[in-house]
Each structure stands twice: as structure tokens, then as C-alpha cells.
Chains A and B, each alone.
Chain A
């Protein structure tokens, strides 16, 4: 399977140029009083929705920017 992603700097490029950074899970949780379970839930647990989700991608073979995009894992396509 192959598709393209829209880098905010470089435009539409082949997915080969990017590294996946996972779903958007919000910012790193505060560590004061953070339980192990909460920590591992944030780092490890993933939902697998059959609908568009917000994701992070890194344009490593290009400009080196991390950006967020909305993509449907069912079709692999970005959703505008």
C-alpha cells in the first residue's frame, strides 16, 4: 500500500519520505503524581478507529518537520 502526505513545507510527497509518529494523544502528561498505569496508558495504548484520526508525521527525507495531519486508516488517505 502506498499513499501520499501533505507536508506543510514541501507539499504532497510519497509516504516513503515520512516517519509515522503515532496518533495525536495530546501533550505529555504532567509527571507530578503520575501513576505508572497512567503513564503507560499514554505511551502504549492505541485506539484503532475505523475513521479519520489526527496523526503525527515526520518529514525525515525532506525538510525535517513534525506535523499533524488527519488521515483515515481505512483508506490510508488524508482527509481535508
Chain B
């Protein structure tokens, strides 16, 4: 298949003679090209392996792979086409009540339905994420939705006023319906007028024009979202926009309101705009012999234009008895020998796989006549595209004059213009755009002026001049013709018994289904939608919405004015999921020692915002790394550790508030280990605090909490007005931990400071000079349970320290260890990791750390203290215990459940087989009645049909390794 530049997939297929594009959802009826704007799912196809791509709006590219979907084999001969004959068995909502009983058959029905009624097949092995998906965030004074004549006039008026304007147009070109109309207007064809306007808009400096860009919704405070489909020249395949606008001008235009008649879904039935654009935009003859059943002057104009192009127009029916207003069109009609039938509409399309003729009926009398034709252009007039307004929360009501939904109340800063207000005269449409554009300028007020001056932009209007211009625009608009009367036809005549008159093509929802819904008491569109699926599909009420509301009002016997506009849900068009997911950049932080660790074979894993070394080499169990720390010396990059300084006269008060211990007991030169709780007494964070001088403290937090610490301190002191400064040093300082029995001997080689056990005991903190010039904080801690020193130094110096220690430790065969080794080492020691051995249900005391709590202090109003008191003696709490798995028993895994008969009484948090201990240990949270040493508990590994797989373990103290802490202090 070939096409021309600018062709869509649908127009190229149509040009190549394709008439059946797919099969319908429920009845598998053949479907053709109905709309040109992606308003129906008829032309959803699989394009380059991606299902549900809309052929109408997808531009043709060389080398595309296009396949029909929802068919077995060829769409012209579909195996499920027989379903159409059984439609009586498939009333509205049939799958809700027909297949429910017997229940055991439901899965069978369901899988069959899915296969028959599916909309495309997703290849789970396929790569759908190719191409660049990007997102951009804009600020604008005015966002104009719609690049037709009104939108362009609004953009020009606002741009002239010095405002920053952003215009969204879904089509590839500006101009809207004017871009394909050729009738003469004020001395030139309309499309020329559109081109001239478009040239001015593109030349305007402060108007950003986004074509191929659909605005998908207006959200709170005028945030407009949209997406652009990239061309081959764009750096992206799709781009998501979020534009924060001060004002929004909605000039979204109109679309055909479908005429509901018998067999109105046959291939060959199409919208006025579809036939017209095939001929004028794409240069394809839409048919040989065309019948028109329309309801407004635009339809008449289209018919005459096609006649001029040499297409044989069989007849033109106009659902209006009278009221044809456009004299020029009416005159042109009388000049031609085309049969014209006012007050008539097509009531049935003839032909199965494509239209071969139609039946025309008078709306009042009984007369009917049959015609041959191969194309049936039908509508019930035009309906405004209300989607954008609806997402902006505009209040909409049915207007009995224009017979369309009109806003009765607009949200602040939202303006509406163009043909969607019912205007038809090109001058009126442009004038309404100017009214909206200047209105937006007045709304934006003074800032328009100052902003324009600051940016040195072109001509700008002062606020006074903007409002004078706005008044002039209003006067001009008032002098021009207003909206003509619309046509209120609800459906074609004779669509009673046996007729298949579709209200919603996408969901195969017929007029009969509406009646069935009514018969069940679901008599408003929102209920019919849920019951029979109207508007649930890709159409989302855009096409079917107004007809459904009108039909239901009519069937209820209510006046048509009561037809409620139903909710239109964003997005108004479908960007690809990949675009919504975003570009997928993995934004992470690297520690200052990333390169050094990578050079030694580190395997990195994401931990919070960081990439951290999980282990070195290819042994994920880290046996050698663990043994090396226990018996020799290892080095850990602990740079992600949270590091903070707090100083100021009220620093101690703040520490007393958030830490659970008595922070007055911090002494210069030594580390105090403490923890923070939340108001529920749950452990949030732990670390050490060092007193570094009067009202000056240095403290560490866990890596995961580093980002939230400032927020936490300031939140819990927000009412107190305390005077303290908190500085996050996490990224400024790197840190590394040298641990193991030989740690001191390595450290001695790189520093002159006395690091002996007497001069530098456990939990001491000193400033020492390392490597002849780097001043570092050195903290003697023992998270891994061995003699260890932690060096905190400026991030830029840490790689030097690493090299130095590696070199100095070479004789001892020092080697790095990673997070997994640290995790095993600390677990053997019974040290908890927050979120691993603690969770929402447990407090500080539940995990055996209650000794920290300064329970006498109520004056500081410590966060979490009242909860700890309340939960202290509560029955049924989970407690942290150690486990020793029985010799030879099946090894549990992290997360294995602890059971007591049928009851779950806890779970294993961390468990490993320890070479150091010689047995499998675990840390577990179990109910307090099981939480005493010596208790035998049952681990449930798996539950299957044959029964459970269980093993047993004994509760012991969680301090498995060196319980008296001699190694830390050695």
C-alpha cells in the first residue's frame, strides 16, 4: 500500500480501496470509516504491533506494519460474524445476568468472551517502549484549546496584548473546519482565510503553537495536560505536556452528531466531515453515488462541494423542515439539479458489507422512498465538543435553541469561543475568538503589561487598552449574526421492531438497548452507561453522549431540555501508556566511592535514592566477605548514612523532642546511640549523636531517613518557635567503615592519632588527621559486631582515604564488603534494621529497644512517649525474638510465617545460615505469648492441597553473636 505525505493510515487505506476496517466489539459487524478524527473505534488497528491504534489520527509512515484487530482472519470474512444473527440473545448488559449462573461455568464463559470481544491483542513479549517519551512543563498566561479560526483569533488577540500564549491543535495543520472549505467568503475562499490567519499566528512571537497536540484535560487551577505525537523531525515519539495556565480559551469546535437510524453502522455510512475531508484534504473520491441526510447548513455546503467535485449526489435530505439560513448555500442548491428533501431523514441503510442504498422517510408523514447509493453521509447536525469544558468543571446545560450543550457557568479564567457556542458565520466565529482573547488579557490584568515589558516582547496593550479592545471586540461580535437555530431531531423515523440503530458504535449499543435499560428502571444516561456500556469504550461519551441523553429524555417523556450532559472523563484522547509512564530515567545518587567499588567488582543495587554495592564478585551469599570481617578486616562504603549538624540555643530542646533518650547525657568526644519514634511509638530512625561543643551537635541517621530528617525535626517543633539550625551534611560528607579484629592495625598505619583501646574506646568520637592532611571525624561504633572505626570526611577526600586504607591494609589482605554482608553481620549481632525488623504494628519496646526511652521526662514532650506508655502492657503485641532453626530442618526464608495450629502468630524478618555460628538463625516478630526463650515454634513454608510444609525452630535471645559485646570493645 502507498500513500501521500500527510495521509493518515485511514485515508491511505480508504484511498487504496479498503472499505471494511474492522469488526464491532459485540456483534462482530463489519465496520468502515465513519469519522476522520478518531471519534469511533471502527478503525482501531494494530500498528507496528501496538493494538488499539487509531488509524484515523495516525499519520502514515514508510514501513508501517498495519493489521486489523478483533477479527479472525480477514475483516471482510470474520468467523464471528455469525454473532450478529444472535443479537436477540444478547440484550443490554447480557453478560451481567446471563452468564452468572451456574457460577462454576463463569470462568469458561469469561475466557471465551474475552477472546471474542477483545479489542486487540497485546504481545507480552513485544517491546512497546521504543522511541523517546518525554515530558515538558510550561507556564502560560493563556492556553488556547483548538487551532480553528476562533482559537487562532483568540491566540492573536491575547498575543497582541503581550501575554504568553500556548495553542493546542490536534490536527497537523491549523485552521479547523475552515481549512477544507472552499466557498467564497468576502472575496477569497475560506481555506485561504484560514491560511492567512495561521501564518499570522505562527509569526506571532509570544504564541507557542503545538500541532499534532491534543489537550487531554483541564485540571485544578487551569492546569492543562496534553500530548504531542512526534514526527520524524521531532526528538521524541510522544511528548506529554503540563501547562499551568492563568486562563484557558476553549475553542474546541464541533463534531457530527450521529443520526440514529436502522443499520447506521454499515461500512459506507459516514460523517459529513469524513466525506468532505476525504475529498478536500486527502483528494480521494469518497464514493461514486452519494446520498446526504443532514440537518444543518454545513451539511448542505458539503453536499454542494462534493457535487462540484464531480461526485454524483443522489439527494440531499435535511431533517429541518425550514430554517436553512445560509442564502448562498440555498441558492447554490436550487441552481443544481440535486433532489432536495426538507423534513426528511434516512431511516435505513441497505446492504450488508457495504452500503448499496438507503430508505428515505418523511419525519412527519408516512412516505418512504428507496435510493441506490454507495455512500451515505448522515448526521443530525453538529454537536459541540464539550470534553475540554467538562474536564474544566464548567456547568453545562442543554440549549433548546442550538440543540447542543452550552456552558451556563464557566470556572474562573476559562473562556469559550467559536463554533462550539453554536456560531456558524465565519466572521462571528473569529469575533468570538477575539472576545475570548481580549477577555483573557483583561483577566490577566496588570501582569500582562509588566511581564511583556520585562521580556522585551513586541507590541503590548496596557490593561486599559486591553479592556477597551475587549469592549470593542464585544461590540463587534454583537453586530454579527448570532447562533442559528439547531436541529433537535432525536432519531430517524421507523427504528422500531427489528431495527439495529446504533447509538454507540464502539460498544455496539443500540436504540433497543436503551429501551431495555429503561425497562429495568435505569432511565438516566449515567445508569444506562453502567448497564449497557454506552460511552464506556474509547468514545467516552464524546460521540454518543448527547444522543443518548436526548433519546432517554424522549423515552421518559421529558422535554429535551432535561437531557443531562453526562460526565466526560479525561484523558480526552489516548496518549500511550509509555508516554504517561514518562521517560523512565533512573535518577539515582552515586556515592563518592562508586568508581572505586566498581573497579573491585561491586554489584550495585538500588537502595533508596542510592546505588549501593550489594556484594563484590559473583557470590551473592557473601561468605568470604563475612568471614573476612569476622576474622580479619573489611571496608564498607557507608556514605549514604544520614549526617547532620544541629546548632543554636534551642538545639538540645529539639533533640529532646525527637529523640526518645535523654539527650542531656551526650558528652563531648563520645557517641550516644538513640532512636526517634513517631506518635504511635514506632521506631522511625536510629543513629548516634555527638556533642561537639556548646549548643552544637553532630548526628547520624539511617540512610533511608536522611531525606526526611529536616522535615521531621521542623514538623515536631513547628509550634515552639525554637532557635536552632539544622544542616544536612549527608552529601557533603562521605563515610567509610573499617571493621574487623585487624581494623585498628590498618588504621594505625594511616594516622598519627592514638587509636588504642585506652585512648579511643568503644563509642568514642575523635577528630583525627588521616593520610597526612585529611581531617576526619572518627567514630568507634559496632553495627557489624566487631571492632570498627567509621571515618566521616569531605566527600571529595573519601576516595583518597579508600585508596590509602586499601594500600595500608594490603598486608592484612583487607577487602571491601557490601550491603548484604553488612546485613548478615548485623543480624548475627541482633541489631535491627528499621522496616525489616520493625513495622507498623510494633513499638520501640516491642523490638527490645525500650531501654533507650527516658520515661521520666515528660517536660520535653517527646514524640512517641505517650504511645510507648499506652502500649507497654498491652496484650497480644508482636515481639522481636531470635530463632534457632533445628538441625536438619528445612531452612526458612525472609518472610516465612510462624503458625500456631490454624493461627498465624508472626513471621520471620531475616534469616540466614551462619558460618560464624554454625547454624541457621533468624530474627522474627511473634506474638508475645510465644516470645520467650526456649519456646518451640512452627514455621509454615508453604500451603498446598496436600497439606502444609512446616518445620520447627526455638526461640532464643536475638543477640546470637558475642552477646556481651566483648569484640566491639576489644
Q: How far is the CA of A44 from the CA of B711 in the complex (A)?
A: 20
State which of B223, B680, B858 has its C-beta within 8 Å of the C-beta of A2.
Answer: B223
Q: How far is the CA of A14 from the CA of B680 in the complex (A)?
A: 31
Please count how many residues in chain A sit with their CB below 8 Å of the partner chain's CB atoms: 27
Q: How far is the CA of A34 from the CA of B868 in the complex (A)?
A: 13
B219 touches A36 (CB 8 A): no
Contact of B865 with A by CB under 8 A: yes
A31 touches B861 (CB 8 A): yes
Query: In chain B, residues 857-914, which have Cβ atoms closer than 8 Å to a Cβ of chain A?
Result: 858-859, 861-862, 865-867, 869-870
B220 touches A2 (CB 8 A): yes
CB distance from A38 to the nearest CB of B (A): 8
Cβ proximity bits B700-731 to A, threshold 8 Å, 1 near / 0 not: 00000000001100111011100000000000
State which of A3, A26, A40, A58 has its C-beta within 8 Å of the C-beta of B715.
Answer: A58
List the B side residues contacting A21 at CB < 8 Å: 715, 718
B244 touches A14 (CB 8 A): yes
B220 touches A1 (CB 8 A): yes
B720 nearest CB neighbor, chain A only: A27
Contact of B839 with A by CB under 8 A: no
Contact of B679 with A by CB under 8 A: yes
Known contacts A34-B866, A39-B867, A43-B679; A64 and B711 CB within 8 A of each other? yes
Query: In chain A, residues 7-57, which have Cβ atoms closer than 8 Å to a Cβ of chain B?
Result: 14, 19, 21, 26-32, 34, 36, 39-40, 43, 56
Contact of B748 with A by CB under 8 A: no
CB distance from B216 to the nearest CB of A (A): 14
Give the interface centre of A27, A28, A40, A65 by most chain B CB atoms within 10 Å. A28
Q: How far is the CA of A19 from the CA of B710 in the complex (A)?
A: 13
A64 nearest CB neighbor, chain B only: B710
Q: How far is the CA of A43 from the CA of B679 in the complex (A)?
A: 7
B718 nearest CB neighbor, chain A only: A66
Q: How far is the CA of A76 from the CA of B221 in the complex (A)?
A: 10
B244 touches A30 (CB 8 A): no
B221 touches A28 (CB 8 A): no
A66 touches B858 (CB 8 A): no
List the A side residues contacting B219 at CB < 8 Å: 1-2
List the A side residues contacting B861 at CB < 8 Å: 28-31
A43 touches B680 (CB 8 A): yes
State which of B711, B714, B866 has its C-beta within 8 Å of the C-beta of A39.
Answer: B866
Q: How far is the CA of A19 from the CA of B714 in the complex (A)?
A: 13
CB distance from A48 to the nearest CB of B (A): 19
Known contacts A2-B221, A3-B220, A4-B221; A58 and B711 CB within 8 A of each other? yes
CB distance from A45 to the nearest CB of B (A): 12
Q: How far is the CA of A32 from the CA of B870 in the complex (A)?
A: 14
List the A side residues contacting B867 at CB < 8 Å: 36, 39-40, 43
List the B side residues contacting A31 at CB < 8 Å: 858-859, 861-862, 865-866
B708 nearest CB neighbor, chain A only: A60
List the B side residues contacting A34 at CB < 8 Å: 858, 866
B711 touches A60 (CB 8 A): yes
A30 nearest CB neighbor, chain B only: B861
CB distance from A53 to the nearest CB of B (A): 16
List the A side residues contacting B718 at CB < 8 Å: 21, 56, 66
State which of B244, B679, B711, B858 has its C-beta within 8 Å of the C-beta of A32.
Answer: B858
Known contacts A36-B869, A39-B867; A66 and B715 CB within 8 A of each other? yes
Cβ proximity bits B198-220 to A, threshold 8 Å, 1 near / 0 not: 00000000000000000000011
Known contacts A30-B861, A31-B858, A43-B679; A3 and B870 CB within 8 A of each other? no
Query: In chain B, residues 15-72, which have Cβ atoms closer than 8 Å to a Cβ of chain A?
Result: none
CB distance from A32 to the nearest CB of B (A): 5
List the B side residues contacting A65 at CB < 8 Å: 714
List the A side residues contacting B711 at CB < 8 Å: 19, 58, 60, 64, 66
State which of A58, A60, A76 has its C-beta within 8 Å of the C-beta of B220.
Answer: A76
List the B side residues contacting A19 at CB < 8 Å: 711
B219 nearest CB neighbor, chain A only: A2
A27 touches B719 (CB 8 A): yes
CB distance from B424 to the nearest CB of A (A): 36
Cβ proximity bits B402-431 to A, threshold 8 Å, 1 near / 0 not: 000000000000000000000000000000
B707 nearest CB neighbor, chain A only: A60
Q: How far is the CA of A48 from the CA of B866 in the complex (A)?
A: 25
B680 nearest CB neighbor, chain A only: A43
Nearest first, the 8 closest Cβ-Cβ pairs linking A and B are A36-B870, A39-B866, A27-B719, A31-B858, A43-B679, A2-B220, A3-B220, A66-B718
A–B Cβ pairs within 8 angstroms, 22 of them: A1-B220, A2-B221, A3-B220, A21-B718, A27-B719, A28-B716, A29-B861, A31-B858, A31-B859, A31-B865, A31-B866, A32-B859, A34-B866, A36-B870, A39-B870, A40-B867, A40-B870, A43-B679, A43-B867, A58-B714, A64-B711, A66-B711
Additional A-B contact list (15), CB under 8 Å, known A1-B220, A27-B719: A2-B220, A3-B221, A19-B711, A26-B719, A27-B720, A28-B861, A29-B861, A31-B866, A36-B866, A36-B870, A58-B711, A58-B715, A60-B711, A76-B220, A77-B221
Residues of chain A touching chain B, judged by Cβ–Cβ distance below 8 Å, are: 1-4, 14, 19, 21, 26-32, 34, 36, 39-40, 43, 56, 58, 60, 64-66, 76-77
Residues of chain B touching chain A, judged by Cβ–Cβ distance below 8 Å, are: 219-221, 223, 244, 679-680, 710-711, 714-716, 718-720, 858-859, 861-862, 865-867, 869-870
